[in-house]
Structure 1
Amino acid sequence: MTLSTEDLLPSTRRALLHRMAVGQSEGRVPSIVGGVRRDGRLVWSGARGDIAADAPEADHQFRIGSITKTFTAVLVLRLRDEGLLDLDDPLEKHLPGTGVGTVTIRQLLGHTAGLAAETPSPWWERTPGALRPELADVLGERPRPHRPGHRHHYSNPGYTLLGSLIEAVRGASWSDVLRREVLEPLGLHRTSPQPQAPHADGWAVHPWADVILPEPAEDLGLMAPAGQLWSTVSDLGRFASFLAEGDDRVLGAASLAEMRLPAAPMDGDEEGTYGLGLQIVRKEGRTLVGHTGSLPGFLAALWLSVEDDMAAVVLANATSGVAIGDLAADLVRIVAEAEPRIPRPWRPLPEAEADPELLALTGAWYWGTRSYGLTLVRGRGVELRPLHGSGRGARFVARPDGTWTGLDGYYTGEILRVVRRADGSVSHLDVGSFVFTREPYDSQAGVPGGVDADGWRGIGL
């Protein structure tokens, strides 16, 4: 039986529209638009609100605030992948004179550099960027209130530094580099630093009365890499697909998977963790990655569930009122529960990957007395998982030297290698120095500490 991708069921579409309508009505938002992308295409979009002549559509621009940071992070990872910098380089190596000391590029990406959350007064989101023409104006006299690397502390100025880093390495403005290296290759023609019609206007809604006030839409200047962009549901849906699958013209799948890994725990009053330019949250048993954003007059959320091959985007033109991150998460949940993802057909490995030596490594292995199973995955990778209960399982990607590097869990970044005897036969697996043997405590496999010569025994009566 061949299964085709079809539109959502009418009941699912109504549930999505109902959730959006409740969010707009109870949140008292002038207008709101959302969309769900699945299997590489926009399968639903809907909008509520009629403050303008027409309700917004999936192609209407809204300001997306801190979702801009994810675009900036993609540009930094591109520089790393081109060998122009290392994420563990001190920022000063490539952008001297900032005054932030030894903070690294990785710490800036993950908000662990210890920098202040905001710029010095006046409130940067509601004032022209021209008031802060230099990095010193953005960082202020006390740019680093926390020790680098010791805690997660969200920092908007930190992404200003990353934008300036991109400009220094590329020799072009952040906006030009973004357009040339990300927006144009991905076809995000409705994403831009300045609004393009049709676009929503930003509003503040009075907390105690149903009246509204227009919000200013300032050019953020040096702060642009932290929150300048305008975009649409359609464009952000395409961007979400890129974050899940990668595009070698922009950034490969392996680097995007690295961005989705936790870089540091959040503060105690925050939810989830943070990767490299991506927020990571758990909602009702589902892991979502993406970002939320806000600027005066606008709220935005993009959540991606890699497991469900689905993303949701919600954009609103209000300063506050609706928990937009929760709303976007609910759109993912509604579709995932009502119409679960149909698994792709199982297919055998390509013939070139059916290597007899690799096949000989599959099956049961033991770490001490704990049983694990080793399986092959595409790309000559392997997966090591406990056969019973929970434990330190991980996926490993193949390296050119015949070893593997851990991709997730306890063994992230650790090396798995096959240890052979003088005759070429396999003695054991070494995983980050732990010995995995074919039999529990195999006496012939060089288990550290040795194995009792009398072997396994029962208790005498």
Structure 2
Amino acid sequence: MTAAAHPWPGGPPDLTDVLPPDVPQRGPAADDEAVRRRLDAAVDAVDAPDVVFALSRHGRRTVRTGGTSPPPVPRERLRYELGSASKTFTGLLLAQLTHTGLLSGGEPAAALLDPARRPDEQPVTLAHLITHTSGLPALPADFFVRALPAWRTNPYARYPAERVVDAFLRHRRHRRPGTRWHYSNFGVAVLGHALAAATGTPWEELLTGQVLGPLGLSEATLVPGGPDTDATGHRRDGTTPVPPLAVGGFQAAGAVRAAPHDLLAFLEAHLDPSDRPLAGALRAVRRPVLRRGLGHRQVHTVAWFRHPAEGGPMYFHGGATLGQQAFLGFRPDTGTALAALCTRRFRVGDAFVPTAYALLAEL
């Protein structure tokens, strides 16, 4: 990717003149029984203790669940770890702060985190961090050394917020920001701390006040609960439980946990932002801000991966923790939103993500 392919900061571009408009909802509501059969087939394709496929189509919700072990409470009422799918909430928060004029996206992150620091000639901006073009590695250089003693339990918990910030401020860049895409949990974690510093608000309070609360996501949270509220993750064997995820200083990159109906409400807001809180930000996160790869086929917004589909684009983001997986996606052309969740760690040949992606693409 070249610098010219990354036009933000300065605000996400308005590309409505070159992108296909949203296709209006078409035809009658999908046949409920047919939808249930499709979702049941998806549930059966995933081998995990708990599996949830939650679909909204033109506002009609269908949730189907299954799994290899009985849950303590109905699966559709439990909260699940989203892992990296939490970045869609972080991206929406940044879009909201820029839409309201509090930030522009072009602020240097280092200046927000250390105001006394000498300005860089080519600073890493908030926009670079959310679009994975900051030049930062996936994780800090010393992360693995510190995390190794807890590698099978909670490695992120051993890397607190102050270490994330310090590692960023000490990092020696090898590339100019904005010139290459490289997926980075480290970068989005830094973004969270920079936004907290810019607003003078702790991250959990900031995300709750600006995103979770306004969208009515009452069951979404950033901290683990107990077995009556939270699903239990499992190792690759599908039987050994793992402790709830503790993210340390990586909250913005992976801390959100939510129940299926809250996730559908989150996705439905993206499908139709009209007359909703955060309407401007919800529209902004659907606009491409960079293209990369062969022929610039890989398209990204500030919060989502964007792939072409038969009637229009589909937006999606996956996530994985040590014991759970999540897939969030929506298609404006068909009025479809999908939240898929399971409680088994990713393994080679895992059917979860391909099944969820195919379901969203086919509907």
**TM-score (norm. length: structure 1):** 0.63
- 2:51 aligned with 1:32, yes or no? yes
Contact 1:151 1:264 in 2 (8 A): no
1:115 counterpart residue number:
136
C-alpha distance 142-171 of structure 1, shift in aligned 2 (>3 A): closer
Distance 2:245 2:330 in 1: 29
Amino acid corresponding to residue 198 of structure 1 in structure 2: T
Percent identical: 26
Residues 57-456 of structure 1 aligned to structure 2 (within 5 Å): 57-96=75-114, 102-119=123-140, 120-121=143-144, 122-123=146-147, 126-129=154-157, 131-134=159-162, 135-139=164-168, 142=171, 144-196=173-225, 197-206=228-237, 212-246=239-273, 250-253=277-280, 255-266=281-292, 272-282=298-308, 287-321=313-347, 322-334=350-362, 336=363
Ranges in structure 1 where 5+ consecutive residues have no aligned partner? 337-461
1:190: Cα distance to partner?
A: 1.3
C-alpha distance 80-290 of structure 1, shift in aligned 2 (>3 A): same
Q: Considering fraction of residues, name the structure with more strand.
A: 1
2:3 counterpart residue number:
none
C-alpha distance 114-248 of structure 1, shift in aligned 2 (>3 A): farther
Distance 2:29 2:313 in 1: 25
Distance 1:55 1:282 in 2: 38
Give the number of aligned pairs. Answer: 322
C-alpha distance 289-67 of structure 1, shift in aligned 2 (>3 A): same
Distance 1:249 1:129 in 2: 36
Q: Considering fraction of residues, name the structure with more helix.
A: 2
Contact 2:318 2:327 in 1 (8 A): yes
- Structure 1 or 2, whichever has the larger Rg, is 1
Distance 2:89 2:326 in 1: 14
Amino acid corresponding to residue 234 of structure 1 in structure 2: H
Amino acid corresponding to residue 94 of structure 1 in structure 2: L
Distance 1:93 1:83 in 2: 18
**TM-score (norm. length: structure 2):** 0.78
Choose between structure 1 and 2 for higher RCO, CA contacts under 8 A separated by at least 6 residues: 2
Contact 2:269 2:276 in 1 (8 A): no
CA RMSD of aligned residues (A): 3.0
Distance 2:239 2:323 in 1: 10
Ranges in structure 2 where 5+ consecutive residues have no aligned partner? 1-25
